[in-house]
C-alpha cells in the first residue's frame, strides 16, 4: 500500500484512534453501571424472555407496564444467559462486523485494499456507529445484519447467496424496523441501474417472503402482540425540526467527510461506485428522518456516517492526495468527539454516585419506579414496573389506560420513585401521574443524579 505526503501523519493517527477506541470500549464493556436510557428496558425484556414470559403482549392491562419496540433476535441470542456483559459483548462484536462489511463493500466497488482499510477504520471510529458499540442496545446488531445482507446481495452470483442476503436483511428489519429502508432500497435500485432486473426483483421478493414469514410467526407466537409492540406502539409524535437538530449533530461530526459528496457528480470515480454511494447516502438520509420521532436520538444517522466512510474510502483510492487529506482531517475530528464524549465523561465522573444509587435501590424492600437510569433497577435486582416515557406516549394516544397505575400511586404502592431532570418530566409522565405523585409523595432527597420521592 503506497502512501503519499500527508500519510506520514495518517498512519500514526490511525493507530492513535484505534487505541483510543479500544480503551473506551474495554472500559465501557466492563463497566458495572448502566446510565444509557434504553439499556434498562432492553435488559429487562431479555430477562423476562429467559423466564418464559411473552415480551410482546397484545394489550397492556396489568403490570409490568412496559412496551417492546424491537424484534426478538437480540434477546434470543442471549437466551438462556442474558446479562449486561452478554448484551454488550454482542453489541461490540456487531460493531466490529459492521466495520468489516462496510470495508468489504468498498473493496467490492473498487477492488482496492486501500478503500477497504480506510472505510473500515472510518466506520469503526464514526461516533454514531461506535457510540452503541459497548452498550446493551439492538442497534449494532441490526446494523451488522443490514451491512452483511447488503454485501452478500451485491456479490451474489448464485440463488443461494441471494436468498442468504434476503434472510440477513429480513433479520435486520426484525431487529430494528429502521433498517427496512437503506440497505434493501439501495440493493434493489443498484441492481436495476446495472440492468439486472431479475436479480433486483428476485432478491426483493425473497426479502418480502422472509420478512412476512417472520412477522406471521411472531404474531402467532405472541398471540397477536408483535405488531402492536413494534409498530402500533412505535408510532409516536413526530417533528421534522427534531430530526433536523440531530442531522446537525451528525453533520458536525462528519463535516470533513462531507467534502467528498461533490465528487459524486464529477468525473474521476467509477460509475458503479458513484451510483452505489449516491443511493446509499440518499436512502440513509431518508431513514434517518425517523429521528424526528419523540424519544429518538442521533443514532438514526449511523448509516449516514457509513455512507460518508464508503465515499471517503473510494475517493482515497482514485484521488489519493485528496482522499488522504480528508481521511486525516476526519479521523482527527472523530478523535476529538471521542475524547470529549459527554457519555464517557459522565460515565467516568459519576460511577461512584451510580453505585451508591444502586445500593440504595438494593436496600429498598418494595417496588421502585424510575424515569431514568432504569438499568440500575435491573442491576439492583428490581424489575421494571413501568416505563414512564413509553407508557405516557401510549396514554396520550389512548392506547393504554393509566387509571390502574394512578390508583397504585395514590395507594403508595411504591416505596421509592426516582425522577430525573425536571425539563424532561413532562415527556416522561402524564399530568395525572405527576399530580398523583405530588399529592401522595414528597421529595425526600436530591442526589447528584436523581430526585428521590417517598410516600408521605
Residue pair 171/145 in contact (Cβ under 8 Å)? The answer is yes
Contacts of residue 157, defined as CB under 8 A and 6 or more positions apart, other chains included, come to none
**Range from 129-133, 250-254, 450-454 carrying the lowest mean pLDDT:** 129-133
pLDDT in tens, 190-227: 999 999 999 999 999 999 999 999 999 999 999 999 99
Distance CA 395, CA 287 (A): 27
Alpha carbon distance 127, 253 (integer Å): 7
C-alpha–C-alpha distance, residues 341 and 339, integer Å: 6
- How far apart are alpha carbons 95 and 316 in whole angstroms? 23
Task: Please state whether the predicted TM-score (pTM) of the whole model is above 0.95.
Answer: no
**Hunting for cell 421509592 — which residue is that?**
416
SS3 61: coil
Q: Directed axis angle between helix 7-29 and helix 320-339, to 10°?
A: 30
| pLDDT tens-digit series, residues 217-248 | 999 999 999 999 999 998 888 899 999 998 99
- Per-residue pLDDT reduced to its tens digit, 42-57: 999 999 999 999 999 9
Chain length of the chain:
456
Amino acid at each position: 500500500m503506497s502512501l503519499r505526503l500527508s500519510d506520514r501523519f495518517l498512519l500514526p493517527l490511525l493507530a492513535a484512534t484505534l487505541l483510543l477506541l479500544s480503551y473506551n470500549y474495554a472500559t465501557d464493556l466492563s463497566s458495572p453501571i448502566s446510565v444509557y436510557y434504553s439499556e434498562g428496558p432492553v435488559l429487562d425484556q431479555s430477562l423476562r424472555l429467559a423466564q418464559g414470559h411473552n415480551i410482546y403482549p397484545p394489550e397492556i392491562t396489568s403490570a409490568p407496564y412496559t412496551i417492546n419496540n424491537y424484534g426478538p433476535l437480540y434477546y434470543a441470542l442471549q437466551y438462556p444467559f442474558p446479562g449486561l456483559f452478554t448484551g454488550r459483548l454482542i453489541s461490540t462484536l456487531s460493531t466490529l462486523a459492521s466495520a468489516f462489511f462496510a470495508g468489504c463493500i468498498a473493496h467490492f466497488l473498487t477492488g482496492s485494499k486501500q478503500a477497504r482499510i480506510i472505510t473500515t477504520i472510518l466506520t469503526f471510529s464514526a461516533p454514531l456507529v461506535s457510540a452503541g458499540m459497548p452498550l446493551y442496545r439492538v442497534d449494532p446488531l441490526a446494523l451488522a445484519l443490514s451491512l452483511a445482507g447488503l454485501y452478500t446481495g451485491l456479490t451474489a452470483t448464485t440463488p443461494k447467496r441471494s436468498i442468504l442476503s434476503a434472510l440477513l436483511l429480513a433479520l435486520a428489519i426484525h431487529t430494528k424496523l429502521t433498517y427496512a429502508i437503506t440497505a434493501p432500497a439501495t440493493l434493489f435500485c443498484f441492481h436495476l441501474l446495472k440492468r439486472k432486473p431479475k436479480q433486483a426483483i428476485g432478491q426483493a421478493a425473497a426479502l418480502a417472503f422472509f420478512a412476512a414469514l417472520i412477522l406471521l410467526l411472531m404474531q402467532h407466537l405472541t398471540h397477536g402482540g408483535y405488531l402492536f409492540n413494534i409498530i402500533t406502539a412505535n408510532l409516536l409524535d413526530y417533528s421534522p425540526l427534531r430530526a433536523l437538530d440531530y442531522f446537525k449533530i451528525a453533520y458536525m461530526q462528519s463535516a470533513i467527510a462531507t467534502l467528498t459528496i461533490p465528487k459524486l457528480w464529477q468525473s474521476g470515480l467509477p460509475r458503479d461506485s458513484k451510483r452505489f454511494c449516491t443511493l446509499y447516502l440518499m436512502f440513509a438520509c431518508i431513514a434517518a428522518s425517523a429521528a424526528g420521532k419523540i424519544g429518538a436520538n442521533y443514532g438514526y444517522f449511523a448509516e449516514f456516517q457509513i455512507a460518508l466512510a464508503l465515499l471517503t474510502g473510494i475517493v482515497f483510492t482514485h484521488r489519493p492526495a485528496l482522499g488522504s487529506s480528508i481521511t486525516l482531517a476526519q479521523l482527527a475530528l472523530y478523535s476529538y468527539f471521542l475524547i470529549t464524549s459527554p457519555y464517557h465523561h459522565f460515565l467516568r465522573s459519576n460511577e461512584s454516585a451510580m453505585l451508591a444509587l444502586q445500593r440504595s435501590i438494593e436496600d429498598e424492600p418494595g417496588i421502585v419506579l424510575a424515569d431514568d437510569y432504569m438499568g440500575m433497577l435491573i442491576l439492583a435486582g428490581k424489575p421494571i414496573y413501568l416505563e414512564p416515557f413509553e407508557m405516557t406516549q401510549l396514554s396520550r394516544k389512548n392506547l393504554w389506560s393509566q387509571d390502574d397505575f394512578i390508583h397504585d400511586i395514590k395507594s403508595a404502592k411504591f416505596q421509592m420513585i426516582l425522577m430525573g431532570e425536571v425539563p424532561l418530566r413532562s415527556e416522561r409522565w402524564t399530568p395525572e401521574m405527576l399530580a398523583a405523585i405530588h399529592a401522595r409523595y414528597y421529595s425526600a432527597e436530591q442526589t447528584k443524579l436523581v430526585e428521590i420521592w417517598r410516600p408521605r
